[in-house]
């Protein structure tokens, strides 16, 4: 129970921080959900399916569900594989909220060492076309309207209008 309360408080802080920046209004939320999952690839699809159902039901980011689902799937996969080294004893936190005016906010947080997003090679550069790294981050940035990293790369914030 204490862990659930801590996760809820963290999500409230994230939403408040975004609200202070004029980007999100926690008082105008259609929904907010905080989910903690084991760092296991088998946990990704059930979480994405549950979020997709909420997004659809709330009619949040209507017509952009595929982009949201794909970006969330990529962010969770990165958290499992890179942030947690596929160690299912580690936990990943996901907060999802929909604001009437500004759309959908998704935050994925892992306990890993983090990374510098600027150090990820651009996968569309000629020298990186055969590389298998960096495509997930690139895809997320292409699919979502706003993407930024916090906590040294351990937390990704994604927004879709």
The CATH number for 25's domain is 3.30.565.10
Q: How far apart are CA 80 and CA 88, in angstroms?
A: 8
Query: Given a cut of 70, is residue 107 above it in pLDDT?
Result: yes
Q: Is residue 148 helix, strand or coil?
A: strand
pLDDT, one tens digit per residue, over 28-71 is 788 999 999 999 999 999 999 999 999 999 989 889 999 999 99
pTM: 0.83
Closest among 77, 76, 68 to 142, alpha carbons compared: 68
Q: Which backbone phi and psi does 112 adopt, to 5 degrees?
A: -70, -175
* Spatial distance between the Cα atoms of 161 and 105, rounded to a whole number of angstroms: 9
The domain total for the chain is 1
List the domain range (segments joined by +) for residue 132.
2-160
Tokens in use for 100?
A: 């009437």
């Amino acid at each position: 129970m204490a862990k659930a309360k801590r996760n809820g408080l963290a999500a409230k802080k994230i939403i408040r921080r975004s609200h202070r920046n004029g980007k999100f209004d926690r008082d105008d939320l259609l929904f907010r959900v905080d989910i903690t999952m084991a760092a296991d690839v088998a946990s990704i699809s059930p979480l994405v399916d549950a979020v997709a159902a909420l997004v659809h039901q709330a009619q949040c980011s209507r017509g952009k569900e595929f982009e949201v689902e794909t970006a969330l799937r990529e962010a969770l996969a990165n958290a499992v594989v890179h942030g947690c080294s596929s160690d299912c004893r580690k936990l990943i936190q996901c907060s999802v909220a929909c604001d009437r005016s500004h759309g959908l906010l998704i935050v994925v947080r892992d306990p890993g060492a983090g990374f510098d997003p600027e150090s990820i090679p651009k996968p569309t550069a000629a020298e990186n076309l055969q590389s298998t790294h960096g495509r997930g981050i690139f895809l997320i940035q292409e699919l979502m309207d706003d993407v930024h990293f916090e906590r040294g790369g351990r937390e990704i914030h994604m927004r879709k209008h």
